[in-house]
Amino acid sequence: MSTPTITEEVLNLPLTDLIRSVTNRKTFSPEALKEMSESIKEKGVLQPIVARPVKSIEDEAVRAAAIKAGAKYEIIMGERRYRASKLAGKTDIKAIIRPVSDYDALMVQLMENVHREELPPLEEAEQFHGLLANGKTTIADLVVKIGKPRLYVYQRVSLLKLPDKAKKALREGKLSLPVALLIARIPNRTVAEYATTRILKGDMRGNPFSLSEAHHLILNECMMQLKEAPFDTKDKELVAEAGPCSTCPKRTGNEKELFADVGRCDVCTDPVCFQKKREAARALVLAKAKGEGKKVLTPDESAKLYPYQHGQLGYDAPYIDLDTQCPFAPRKTWGQVIARLPKNERPEITVAVDKIGGIHELIGRKEAGEAARSLELATPTETRGDLSPSAIQQRQQARETRERHERMIRTVDLVITAVLEKQAKAKDAKALARLLLAVAVKASNFDTKRRVSKRHGFTTPKQNGELIPYYLKQAKAAAADPLPFALETLLWQESLFADRALPEILVEACKLYGIDAKKIEAAAKEKSAKDESEAAPVKEVNRLAQKPLSPAKLVASK
Protein backbone atom coordinates (compact mmCIF):
# COMPACT_ATOMS: atom_id res chain seq x y z
CA MET A 1 0.00 0.00 0.00
CA SER A 2 1.53 3.36 -1.08
CA THR A 3 1.53 6.24 1.36
CA PRO A 4 0.18 9.45 -0.24
CA THR A 5 1.94 12.79 0.22
CA ILE A 6 -0.02 14.78 2.82
CA THR A 7 0.25 18.54 3.38
CA GLU A 8 -0.33 19.38 7.04
CA GLU A 9 -1.03 22.65 8.81
CA VAL A 10 -1.76 23.53 12.44
CA LEU A 11 -4.77 25.76 13.12
CA ASN A 12 -6.65 26.97 16.17
CA LEU A 13 -10.20 25.92 15.24
CA PRO A 14 -13.50 26.97 16.80
CA LEU A 15 -15.24 23.96 18.28
CA THR A 16 -18.32 24.80 16.24
CA ASP A 17 -16.35 24.18 13.01
CA LEU A 18 -15.70 20.54 13.98
CA ILE A 19 -17.87 17.42 13.61
CA ARG A 20 -17.15 13.97 15.00
CA SER A 21 -16.28 11.14 12.63
CA VAL A 22 -18.94 8.49 12.02
CA THR A 23 -16.20 5.82 11.95
CA ASN A 24 -14.55 6.82 15.21
CA ARG A 25 -15.38 5.40 18.62
CA LYS A 26 -18.76 6.29 20.09
CA THR A 27 -18.44 5.29 23.74
CA PHE A 28 -16.36 7.18 26.31
CA SER A 29 -16.07 6.84 30.03
CA PRO A 30 -17.86 9.78 31.74
CA GLU A 31 -15.35 9.67 34.59
CA ALA A 32 -12.38 9.83 32.19
CA LEU A 33 -13.96 12.74 30.29
CA LYS A 34 -14.56 14.70 33.49
CA GLU A 35 -11.00 14.10 34.65
CA MET A 36 -9.64 15.29 31.30
CA SER A 37 -11.88 18.38 31.32
CA GLU A 38 -10.47 19.39 34.72
CA SER A 39 -6.96 19.03 33.32
CA ILE A 40 -7.87 21.15 30.26
CA LYS A 41 -9.31 23.86 32.50
CA GLU A 42 -6.00 24.06 34.31
CA LYS A 43 -3.43 23.38 31.56
CA GLY A 44 -5.28 23.50 28.26
CA VAL A 45 -5.01 20.88 25.49
CA LEU A 46 -1.37 19.78 25.43
CA GLN A 47 -1.57 17.69 22.23
CA PRO A 48 -3.44 18.96 19.15
CA ILE A 49 -6.24 16.88 17.68
CA VAL A 50 -6.10 15.70 14.06
CA ALA A 51 -8.84 16.74 11.63
CA ARG A 52 -9.46 16.84 7.89
CA PRO A 53 -11.44 19.25 5.71
CA VAL A 54 -15.02 18.16 5.11
CA LYS A 55 -14.35 18.27 1.36
CA SER A 56 -11.88 15.36 1.84
CA ILE A 57 -14.69 13.02 2.90
CA GLU A 58 -15.24 10.58 0.03
CA ASP A 59 -18.57 9.17 1.22
CA GLU A 60 -21.09 11.51 -0.34
CA ALA A 61 -23.83 10.95 2.25
CA VAL A 62 -21.44 11.61 5.16
CA ARG A 63 -19.98 14.69 3.45
CA ALA A 64 -23.45 16.09 2.73
CA ALA A 65 -24.54 15.56 6.36
CA ALA A 66 -21.42 17.34 7.64
CA ILE A 67 -21.96 20.34 5.36
CA LYS A 68 -25.62 20.50 6.36
CA ALA A 69 -24.56 20.61 10.03
CA GLY A 70 -22.33 23.65 9.26
CA ALA A 71 -19.04 21.81 9.94
CA LYS A 72 -15.81 22.65 8.11
CA TYR A 73 -13.63 19.91 9.52
CA GLU A 74 -14.09 16.27 10.61
CA ILE A 75 -12.22 14.94 13.65
CA ILE A 76 -9.91 12.03 12.81
CA MET A 77 -8.08 11.70 16.15
CA GLY A 78 -8.73 13.34 19.50
CA GLU A 79 -12.48 13.15 19.94
CA ARG A 80 -12.03 12.69 23.71
CA ARG A 81 -10.03 15.94 23.83
CA TYR A 82 -12.71 17.64 21.75
CA ARG A 83 -15.52 16.47 24.09
CA ALA A 84 -13.52 17.30 27.22
CA SER A 85 -12.82 20.82 25.87
CA LYS A 86 -16.55 21.40 25.37
CA LEU A 87 -17.16 20.08 28.88
CA ALA A 88 -14.49 22.46 30.21
CA GLY A 89 -16.22 25.45 28.55
CA LYS A 90 -13.55 26.06 25.89
CA THR A 91 -14.53 27.63 22.56
CA ASP A 92 -11.60 26.56 20.38
CA ILE A 93 -8.95 23.82 20.11
CA LYS A 94 -5.60 23.41 18.37
CA ALA A 95 -5.80 20.98 15.43
CA ILE A 96 -3.47 19.45 12.85
CA ILE A 97 -5.23 19.51 9.49
CA ARG A 98 -4.61 16.50 7.20
CA PRO A 99 -6.56 16.15 3.94
CA VAL A 100 -6.66 12.30 3.99
CA SER A 101 -8.95 9.71 2.38
CA ASP A 102 -11.68 7.77 4.17
CA TYR A 103 -9.47 4.65 4.32
CA ASP A 104 -6.45 6.50 5.75
CA ALA A 105 -8.65 8.30 8.28
CA LEU A 106 -10.12 5.01 9.47
CA MET A 107 -6.67 3.39 9.73
CA VAL A 108 -5.38 6.29 11.82
CA GLN A 109 -8.40 6.06 14.12
CA LEU A 110 -7.93 2.33 14.55
CA MET A 111 -4.24 2.66 15.40
CA GLU A 112 -4.98 5.35 17.99
CA ASN A 113 -7.77 3.37 19.64
CA VAL A 114 -5.83 0.10 19.74
CA HIS A 115 -2.87 1.65 21.51
CA ARG A 116 -4.83 3.86 23.90
CA GLU A 117 -7.92 3.29 26.01
CA GLU A 118 -9.60 -0.06 25.21
CA LEU A 119 -12.23 0.33 22.51
CA PRO A 120 -15.66 -1.27 23.05
CA PRO A 121 -15.71 -4.58 21.12
CA LEU A 122 -18.54 -3.69 18.74
CA GLU A 123 -16.96 -0.34 17.81
CA GLU A 124 -13.62 -2.02 17.22
CA ALA A 125 -15.43 -4.61 15.08
CA GLU A 126 -16.98 -1.81 13.00
CA GLN A 127 -13.57 -0.26 12.41
CA PHE A 128 -12.04 -3.60 11.39
CA HIS A 129 -14.96 -4.26 9.06
CA GLY A 130 -14.70 -0.78 7.51
CA LEU A 131 -11.04 -1.31 6.66
CA LEU A 132 -11.59 -4.83 5.28
CA ALA A 133 -14.65 -3.79 3.26
CA ASN A 134 -12.63 -1.02 1.60
CA GLY A 135 -10.62 -3.67 -0.21
CA LYS A 136 -7.28 -1.99 0.40
CA THR A 137 -6.27 -4.22 3.31
CA THR A 138 -6.55 -7.82 4.48
CA ILE A 139 -6.73 -9.55 7.84
CA ALA A 140 -3.04 -10.39 7.44
CA ASP A 141 -2.25 -6.64 7.02
CA LEU A 142 -4.31 -5.75 10.10
CA VAL A 143 -2.58 -8.39 12.19
CA VAL A 144 0.78 -6.83 11.37
CA LYS A 145 -0.33 -3.25 11.92
CA ILE A 146 -2.19 -3.68 15.23
CA GLY A 147 -0.05 -6.46 16.67
CA LYS A 148 -3.00 -8.74 17.45
CA PRO A 149 -3.51 -12.44 16.52
CA ARG A 150 -5.54 -13.33 13.44
CA LEU A 151 -8.21 -14.93 15.66
CA TYR A 152 -8.60 -11.62 17.54
CA VAL A 153 -9.49 -9.77 14.33
CA TYR A 154 -11.70 -12.56 13.08
CA GLN A 155 -13.64 -12.75 16.37
CA ARG A 156 -14.13 -8.99 16.54
CA VAL A 157 -15.54 -8.87 13.02
CA SER A 158 -17.84 -11.81 13.81
CA LEU A 159 -19.53 -9.69 16.52
CA LEU A 160 -21.26 -7.72 13.77
CA LYS A 161 -23.27 -10.89 12.98
CA LEU A 162 -24.84 -10.86 16.43
CA PRO A 163 -28.63 -10.40 16.63
CA ASP A 164 -29.65 -6.85 17.61
CA LYS A 165 -30.75 -8.12 21.04
CA ALA A 166 -27.29 -9.55 21.68
CA LYS A 167 -25.53 -6.35 20.49
CA LYS A 168 -27.67 -4.23 22.81
CA ALA A 169 -26.95 -6.56 25.75
CA LEU A 170 -23.21 -6.47 24.99
CA ARG A 171 -23.16 -2.65 24.93
CA GLU A 172 -25.09 -2.50 28.20
CA GLY A 173 -22.84 -5.02 29.90
CA LYS A 174 -25.59 -7.61 30.29
CA LEU A 175 -23.74 -9.98 27.99
CA SER A 176 -20.04 -10.66 28.48
CA LEU A 177 -17.67 -10.58 25.54
CA PRO A 178 -16.71 -14.30 25.75
CA VAL A 179 -20.39 -15.31 25.70
CA ALA A 180 -21.12 -12.89 22.85
CA LEU A 181 -18.30 -14.49 20.86
CA LEU A 182 -19.92 -17.89 21.36
CA ILE A 183 -23.22 -16.60 19.98
CA ALA A 184 -21.46 -14.83 17.09
CA ARG A 185 -20.13 -18.18 15.85
CA ILE A 186 -23.68 -19.43 15.19
CA PRO A 187 -24.17 -18.95 11.44
CA ASN A 188 -27.97 -19.14 11.38
CA ARG A 189 -29.62 -15.95 12.62
CA THR A 190 -32.76 -17.69 13.92
CA VAL A 191 -30.68 -20.08 15.99
CA ALA A 192 -28.48 -17.21 17.22
CA GLU A 193 -31.58 -15.29 18.35
CA TYR A 194 -32.82 -18.40 20.20
CA ALA A 195 -29.46 -18.81 21.95
CA THR A 196 -29.41 -15.11 22.89
CA THR A 197 -32.88 -15.28 24.41
CA ARG A 198 -32.08 -18.43 26.40
CA ILE A 199 -28.76 -17.08 27.68
CA LEU A 200 -30.18 -13.70 28.73
CA LYS A 201 -33.19 -15.36 30.36
CA GLY A 202 -30.73 -17.40 32.37
CA ASP A 203 -31.49 -19.78 35.18
CA MET A 204 -34.58 -20.08 37.39
CA ARG A 205 -33.46 -17.08 39.44
CA GLY A 206 -33.15 -14.88 36.35
CA ASN A 207 -29.33 -14.76 36.39
CA PRO A 208 -27.78 -14.76 32.88
CA PHE A 209 -25.85 -17.89 31.98
CA SER A 210 -22.17 -18.06 32.82
CA LEU A 211 -19.63 -18.78 30.09
CA SER A 212 -19.62 -22.52 30.83
CA GLU A 213 -23.44 -22.68 30.93
CA ALA A 214 -23.73 -20.77 27.66
CA HIS A 215 -21.11 -23.02 26.08
CA HIS A 216 -23.05 -26.11 27.20
CA LEU A 217 -26.33 -24.72 25.85
CA ILE A 218 -24.91 -23.86 22.43
CA LEU A 219 -22.99 -27.12 22.11
CA ASN A 220 -26.01 -29.27 22.97
CA GLU A 221 -28.90 -27.30 21.48
CA CYS A 222 -27.39 -25.27 18.63
CA MET A 223 -24.92 -27.77 17.17
CA MET A 224 -25.40 -31.22 15.62
CA GLN A 225 -23.11 -34.28 15.65
CA LEU A 226 -22.39 -35.12 12.03
CA LYS A 227 -21.45 -38.71 12.86
CA GLU A 228 -25.10 -39.21 13.86
CA ALA A 229 -26.47 -37.62 10.69
CA PRO A 230 -29.11 -39.77 8.92
CA PHE A 231 -27.64 -38.76 5.55
CA ASP A 232 -24.38 -38.90 3.63
CA THR A 233 -22.33 -35.89 4.81
CA LYS A 234 -20.23 -36.05 1.61
CA ASP A 235 -23.27 -35.82 -0.69
CA LYS A 236 -22.96 -32.66 -2.82
CA GLU A 237 -26.46 -32.81 -4.29
CA LEU A 238 -28.61 -33.53 -1.23
CA VAL A 239 -29.12 -29.77 -0.69
CA ALA A 240 -27.38 -28.16 -3.63
CA GLU A 241 -26.93 -24.68 -2.14
CA ALA A 242 -25.35 -26.11 1.02
CA GLY A 243 -22.88 -28.50 -0.60
CA PRO A 244 -21.21 -31.36 1.29
CA CYS A 245 -20.73 -31.12 5.05
CA SER A 246 -17.14 -32.35 4.74
CA THR A 247 -15.93 -29.06 3.24
CA CYS A 248 -18.52 -26.69 4.73
CA PRO A 249 -17.10 -23.72 6.74
CA LYS A 250 -19.88 -24.35 9.30
CA ARG A 251 -18.21 -27.64 10.24
CA THR A 252 -16.01 -27.13 13.31
CA GLY A 253 -13.17 -29.16 11.83
CA ASN A 254 -12.89 -26.70 8.94
CA GLU A 255 -12.45 -23.75 11.35
CA LYS A 256 -10.31 -25.40 14.01
CA GLU A 257 -8.90 -22.11 15.31
CA LEU A 258 -12.33 -20.57 15.82
CA PHE A 259 -13.88 -23.70 17.37
CA ALA A 260 -10.91 -24.93 19.37
CA ASP A 261 -13.01 -25.08 22.56
CA VAL A 262 -15.58 -27.48 21.02
CA GLY A 263 -13.05 -30.30 21.08
CA ARG A 264 -14.65 -32.17 18.17
CA CYS A 265 -14.11 -31.71 14.46
CA ASP A 266 -17.24 -33.38 13.10
CA VAL A 267 -19.83 -30.94 14.46
CA CYS A 268 -22.30 -28.86 12.42
CA THR A 269 -22.88 -25.35 13.75
CA ASP A 270 -25.99 -24.76 11.64
CA PRO A 271 -28.84 -27.00 12.87
CA VAL A 272 -31.26 -25.41 10.38
CA CYS A 273 -29.13 -26.55 7.43
CA PHE A 274 -28.71 -29.92 9.15
CA GLN A 275 -32.51 -30.23 9.39
CA LYS A 276 -32.93 -29.37 5.70
CA LYS A 277 -30.54 -32.16 4.76
CA ARG A 278 -32.27 -34.57 7.11
CA GLU A 279 -35.67 -33.77 5.56
CA ALA A 280 -34.23 -34.10 2.04
CA ALA A 281 -32.70 -37.48 2.92
CA ARG A 282 -35.99 -38.58 4.51
CA ALA A 283 -37.92 -37.66 1.37
CA LEU A 284 -35.51 -39.75 -0.74
CA VAL A 285 -35.85 -42.76 1.58
CA LEU A 286 -39.65 -42.58 1.59
CA ALA A 287 -39.75 -42.25 -2.19
CA LYS A 288 -37.48 -45.29 -2.51
CA ALA A 289 -39.69 -47.25 -0.09
CA LYS A 290 -42.78 -46.49 -2.17
CA GLY A 291 -40.92 -47.58 -5.28
CA GLU A 292 -40.12 -50.91 -3.62
CA GLY A 293 -43.79 -51.50 -2.87
CA LYS A 294 -43.61 -50.80 0.85
CA LYS A 295 -46.53 -49.17 2.61
CA VAL A 296 -45.67 -45.60 3.68
CA LEU A 297 -47.85 -44.16 6.45
CA THR A 298 -49.14 -40.61 6.37
CA PRO A 299 -47.85 -38.12 8.99
CA ASP A 300 -51.08 -38.50 10.99
CA GLU A 301 -50.84 -42.29 10.93
CA SER A 302 -47.20 -42.15 12.01
CA ALA A 303 -48.02 -39.72 14.84
CA LYS A 304 -50.50 -42.24 16.29
CA LEU A 305 -47.86 -44.97 16.29
CA TYR A 306 -45.14 -42.70 17.71
CA PRO A 307 -46.82 -40.48 20.34
CA TYR A 308 -43.61 -39.87 22.31
CA GLN A 309 -40.69 -37.50 21.70
CA HIS A 310 -38.03 -40.17 22.22
CA GLY A 311 -38.85 -42.00 18.99
CA GLN A 312 -40.34 -45.17 20.53
CA LEU A 313 -43.41 -47.04 19.34
CA GLY A 314 -46.52 -46.68 21.46
CA TYR A 315 -46.97 -49.61 23.85
CA ASP A 316 -50.27 -50.58 22.19
CA ALA A 317 -49.04 -50.21 18.59
CA PRO A 318 -49.94 -53.23 16.38
CA TYR A 319 -46.44 -53.17 14.83
CA ILE A 320 -42.89 -54.25 15.66
CA ASP A 321 -39.83 -52.23 14.64
CA LEU A 322 -37.46 -54.30 12.50
CA ASP A 323 -34.46 -52.67 14.21
CA THR A 324 -35.47 -53.93 17.67
CA GLN A 325 -34.08 -57.16 19.12
CA CYS A 326 -36.02 -60.35 18.51
CA PRO A 327 -36.55 -62.10 21.88
CA PHE A 328 -36.65 -65.52 20.18
CA ALA A 329 -33.22 -65.15 18.53
CA PRO A 330 -30.41 -63.86 20.79
CA ARG A 331 -28.38 -60.97 19.36
CA LYS A 332 -30.62 -60.79 16.26
CA THR A 333 -33.02 -58.04 15.21
CA TRP A 334 -36.45 -58.71 13.80
CA GLY A 335 -35.13 -57.51 10.45
CA GLN A 336 -32.40 -60.18 10.50
CA VAL A 337 -34.94 -62.83 11.48
CA ILE A 338 -37.37 -61.86 8.71
CA ALA A 339 -34.52 -61.95 6.17
CA ARG A 340 -34.20 -65.71 6.82
CA LEU A 341 -37.62 -66.29 5.29
CA PRO A 342 -38.03 -66.81 1.54
CA LYS A 343 -38.84 -63.51 -0.17
CA ASN A 344 -42.34 -64.60 -1.09
CA GLU A 345 -43.08 -65.48 2.54
CA ARG A 346 -41.84 -62.28 4.16
CA PRO A 347 -44.51 -60.05 5.74
CA GLU A 348 -45.37 -56.66 4.28
CA ILE A 349 -43.09 -53.86 5.51
CA THR A 350 -44.65 -50.59 6.64
CA VAL A 351 -42.60 -47.37 6.81
CA ALA A 352 -43.32 -44.66 9.42
CA VAL A 353 -41.65 -41.44 10.61
CA ASP A 354 -41.47 -40.64 14.34
CA LYS A 355 -41.78 -37.20 15.97
CA ILE A 356 -38.04 -36.50 15.84
CA GLY A 357 -37.76 -37.44 12.17
CA GLY A 358 -36.48 -40.99 12.48
CA ILE A 359 -37.55 -43.45 9.77
CA HIS A 360 -38.72 -46.90 10.89
CA GLU A 361 -39.53 -50.10 9.02
CA LEU A 362 -42.29 -52.06 10.74
CA ILE A 363 -44.14 -55.36 10.47
CA GLY A 364 -47.39 -56.34 12.14
CA ARG A 365 -47.22 -58.16 15.49
CA LYS A 366 -49.36 -60.99 14.16
CA GLU A 367 -47.10 -61.43 11.12
CA ALA A 368 -44.02 -61.33 13.36
CA GLY A 369 -45.45 -64.16 15.49
CA GLU A 370 -46.21 -66.22 12.39
CA ALA A 371 -42.65 -65.69 11.11
CA ALA A 372 -41.15 -66.79 14.46
CA ARG A 373 -43.31 -69.94 14.45
CA SER A 374 -42.53 -70.79 10.83
CA LEU A 375 -38.79 -70.53 11.58
CA GLU A 376 -39.38 -72.75 14.67
CA LEU A 377 -38.04 -70.04 16.98
CA ALA A 378 -41.09 -69.86 19.23
CA THR A 379 -44.23 -71.72 20.26
CA PRO A 380 -47.79 -70.54 19.63
CA THR A 381 -48.13 -69.69 23.33
CA GLU A 382 -45.09 -67.42 23.23
CA THR A 383 -46.22 -65.57 20.12
CA ARG A 384 -49.76 -64.77 21.18
CA GLY A 385 -50.88 -61.26 22.11
CA ASP A 386 -48.25 -58.72 23.06
CA LEU A 387 -44.86 -59.40 21.44
CA SER A 388 -42.89 -56.87 23.45
CA PRO A 389 -39.63 -58.29 24.87
CA SER A 390 -40.89 -58.00 28.46
CA ALA A 391 -44.17 -59.82 27.74
CA ILE A 392 -42.38 -62.57 25.84
CA GLN A 393 -39.83 -62.94 28.62
CA GLN A 394 -42.62 -63.36 31.17
CA ARG A 395 -44.26 -66.05 29.05
CA GLN A 396 -40.93 -67.82 28.58
CA GLN A 397 -40.29 -67.76 32.32
CA ALA A 398 -43.80 -69.09 32.98
CA ARG A 399 -43.21 -71.88 30.46
CA GLU A 400 -39.86 -72.77 32.04
CA THR A 401 -41.44 -72.83 35.52
CA ARG A 402 -44.30 -75.02 34.29
CA GLU A 403 -41.95 -77.44 32.52
CA ARG A 404 -39.69 -77.64 35.57
CA HIS A 405 -42.70 -78.39 37.79
CA GLU A 406 -43.95 -81.07 35.41
CA ARG A 407 -40.52 -82.73 35.33
CA MET A 408 -40.41 -82.77 39.12
CA ILE A 409 -43.95 -84.17 39.40
CA ARG A 410 -42.98 -87.01 37.03
CA THR A 411 -39.97 -87.70 39.22
CA VAL A 412 -42.12 -87.66 42.38
CA ASP A 413 -44.58 -90.07 40.75
CA LEU A 414 -41.81 -92.53 39.92
CA VAL A 415 -40.30 -92.30 43.41
CA ILE A 416 -43.66 -92.88 45.17
CA THR A 417 -44.32 -95.84 42.88
CA ALA A 418 -40.95 -97.33 43.82
CA VAL A 419 -41.62 -96.77 47.57
CA LEU A 420 -45.05 -98.44 47.39
CA GLU A 421 -43.63 -101.39 45.50
CA LYS A 422 -40.91 -101.83 48.15
CA GLN A 423 -43.46 -101.57 50.98
CA ALA A 424 -45.72 -104.18 49.32
CA LYS A 425 -42.81 -106.63 49.30
CA ALA A 426 -41.70 -105.85 52.89
CA LYS A 427 -42.38 -108.49 55.59
CA ASP A 428 -42.97 -105.98 58.41
CA ALA A 429 -44.17 -102.38 58.86
CA LYS A 430 -41.12 -100.93 60.66
CA ALA A 431 -39.92 -98.97 57.64
CA LEU A 432 -43.47 -97.73 57.05
CA ALA A 433 -43.82 -96.63 60.67
CA ARG A 434 -40.53 -94.71 60.55
CA LEU A 435 -41.49 -93.07 57.25
CA LEU A 436 -44.89 -92.02 58.62
CA LEU A 437 -43.19 -90.56 61.69
CA ALA A 438 -40.80 -88.56 59.48
CA VAL A 439 -43.77 -87.33 57.42
CA ALA A 440 -45.65 -86.36 60.60
CA VAL A 441 -42.66 -84.42 61.92
CA LYS A 442 -42.14 -82.58 58.62
CA ALA A 443 -45.86 -81.71 58.45
CA SER A 444 -46.13 -80.38 62.01
CA ASN A 445 -45.22 -76.94 63.31
CA PHE A 446 -42.86 -76.00 66.09
CA ASP A 447 -45.55 -75.77 68.82
CA THR A 448 -46.83 -79.27 68.02
CA LYS A 449 -43.39 -80.84 68.26
CA ARG A 450 -42.68 -78.99 71.50
CA ARG A 451 -45.98 -80.15 73.12
CA VAL A 452 -45.46 -83.80 72.10
CA SER A 453 -41.85 -83.67 73.35
CA LYS A 454 -43.05 -82.24 76.69
CA ARG A 455 -45.61 -85.07 77.11
CA HIS A 456 -42.79 -87.60 76.72
CA GLY A 457 -40.34 -85.72 78.92
CA PHE A 458 -38.04 -84.48 76.12
CA THR A 459 -36.14 -81.22 76.48
CA THR A 460 -36.67 -79.41 73.16
CA PRO A 461 -34.06 -77.07 71.62
CA LYS A 462 -35.03 -73.40 71.19
CA GLN A 463 -34.33 -73.14 67.47
CA ASN A 464 -36.71 -74.77 65.06
CA GLY A 465 -33.90 -75.70 62.69
CA GLU A 466 -32.39 -78.03 65.34
CA LEU A 467 -35.70 -79.48 66.54
CA ILE A 468 -36.56 -81.90 63.72
CA PRO A 469 -33.46 -84.15 63.88
CA TYR A 470 -33.52 -83.95 67.71
CA TYR A 471 -37.20 -84.90 67.82
CA LEU A 472 -36.69 -87.90 65.52
CA LYS A 473 -33.74 -89.10 67.58
CA GLN A 474 -35.66 -88.85 70.89
CA ALA A 475 -38.75 -90.49 69.40
CA LYS A 476 -36.71 -93.39 68.05
CA ALA A 477 -35.09 -93.92 71.48
CA ALA A 478 -38.37 -93.66 73.45
CA ALA A 479 -40.67 -95.74 71.27
CA ALA A 480 -40.04 -99.20 69.93
CA ASP A 481 -42.80 -98.62 67.44
CA PRO A 482 -42.70 -95.13 65.79
CA LEU A 483 -46.25 -95.47 64.41
CA PRO A 484 -48.12 -94.38 67.60
CA PHE A 485 -45.70 -91.48 67.95
CA ALA A 486 -46.47 -90.41 64.36
CA LEU A 487 -50.21 -90.71 65.05
CA GLU A 488 -49.92 -88.60 68.20
CA THR A 489 -47.94 -85.90 66.35
CA LEU A 490 -50.46 -85.67 63.49
CA LEU A 491 -53.44 -85.54 65.86
CA TRP A 492 -51.84 -82.70 67.82
CA GLN A 493 -50.98 -80.83 64.61
CA GLU A 494 -54.66 -80.88 63.60
CA SER A 495 -55.92 -80.06 67.12
CA LEU A 496 -53.41 -77.59 68.54
CA PHE A 497 -55.56 -74.48 67.97
CA ALA A 498 -58.95 -76.01 68.88
CA ASP A 499 -61.24 -73.50 70.60
CA ARG A 500 -65.02 -74.00 70.77
CA ALA A 501 -65.39 -77.59 69.60
CA LEU A 502 -63.41 -80.79 69.37
CA PRO A 503 -61.50 -80.97 66.08
CA GLU A 504 -63.09 -83.05 63.34
CA ILE A 505 -60.13 -85.43 63.14
CA LEU A 506 -60.49 -86.30 66.89
CA VAL A 507 -64.24 -86.75 66.51
CA GLU A 508 -63.50 -89.22 63.70
CA ALA A 509 -60.87 -90.99 65.84
CA CYS A 510 -63.34 -91.36 68.72
CA LYS A 511 -65.84 -92.99 66.38
CA LEU A 512 -63.25 -95.41 65.03
CA TYR A 513 -62.03 -96.46 68.47
CA GLY A 514 -65.39 -96.30 70.30
CA ILE A 515 -64.45 -93.49 72.66
CA ASP A 516 -67.07 -91.37 74.47
CA ALA A 517 -65.90 -87.86 73.60
CA LYS A 518 -68.65 -86.09 75.62
CA LYS A 519 -67.70 -87.93 78.82
CA ILE A 520 -64.05 -86.90 78.36
CA GLU A 521 -65.08 -83.30 77.70
CA ALA A 522 -67.16 -83.22 80.93
CA ALA A 523 -64.26 -84.63 82.94
CA ALA A 524 -61.99 -81.96 81.45
CA LYS A 525 -64.42 -79.23 82.50
CA GLU A 526 -64.68 -80.64 86.05
CA LYS A 527 -60.90 -80.75 86.41
CA SER A 528 -60.66 -77.22 85.05
CA ALA A 529 -63.12 -75.89 87.69
CA LYS A 530 -61.26 -77.69 90.46
CA ASP A 531 -57.93 -76.26 89.35
CA GLU A 532 -59.50 -72.80 89.25
CA SER A 533 -60.87 -73.04 92.85
CA GLU A 534 -57.54 -74.22 94.20
CA ALA A 535 -55.77 -71.38 92.48
CA ALA A 536 -58.22 -68.66 93.73
CA PRO A 537 -56.69 -68.05 97.22
CA VAL A 538 -53.28 -67.79 95.70
CA LYS A 539 -54.55 -65.28 93.16
CA GLU A 540 -56.20 -63.19 95.92
CA VAL A 541 -52.99 -63.09 98.00
CA ASN A 542 -51.08 -62.02 94.92
CA ARG A 543 -53.69 -59.34 94.18
CA LEU A 544 -53.55 -57.91 97.74
CA ALA A 545 -49.79 -57.98 97.75
CA GLN A 546 -49.73 -55.89 94.60
CA LYS A 547 -52.33 -53.34 95.89
CA PRO A 548 -51.08 -50.87 98.59
CA LEU A 549 -53.26 -50.60 101.81
CA SER A 550 -54.81 -47.32 102.96
CA PRO A 551 -53.70 -45.94 106.43
CA ALA A 552 -57.12 -46.89 108.01
CA LYS A 553 -56.91 -50.48 106.78
CA LEU A 554 -53.30 -50.68 107.90
CA VAL A 555 -54.34 -49.75 111.54
CA ALA A 556 -57.26 -52.18 111.43
CA SER A 557 -54.96 -54.98 110.35
CA LYS A 558 -52.80 -54.41 113.40
Helices in 426-463 by DSSP H: which ranges?
430-443, 446-455
Write the single-letter amino acid at 337: V
CA dist 187 and 205 (Å) reads: 30
Write the single-letter amino acid at 276: K
In 3D space, the residue among 337, 333, 346, 239 whose CA is nearest the CA of residue 292 turns out to be 346
Q: Are strands 49-53 and 9-14 parallel, antiparallel or unpaired?
A: unpaired
CA dist 7 and 5 (Å) reads: 7
How many beta carbons lie within 10 A of that of residue 317, not counting itself?
Answer: 18
| C-alpha angle 461-466-468 in degrees, rounded to nearest 5 | 100
Annotation says 79 is catalytic: yes
Region for residue 514 given its phi and psi (left: phi exceeds 0; alpha: psi -120 to 50; beta: otherwise)? left
In 3D space, the residue among 295, 304, 300 whose CA is nearest the CA of residue 364 turns out to be 295
In 3D space, the residue among 221, 259, 219 whose CA is nearest the CA of residue 248 turns out to be 259
Instruction: Write down the number of H helices and E strands in the chain.
Output: 23, 11
Q: Are strands 359-364 and 319-321 parallel, antiparallel or unpaired?
A: antiparallel
Write the single-letter amino acid at 511: K
Which of the residues 8, 9, 58, 79 is marked catalytic?
79
Active-site residues: which are they? Answer: 79
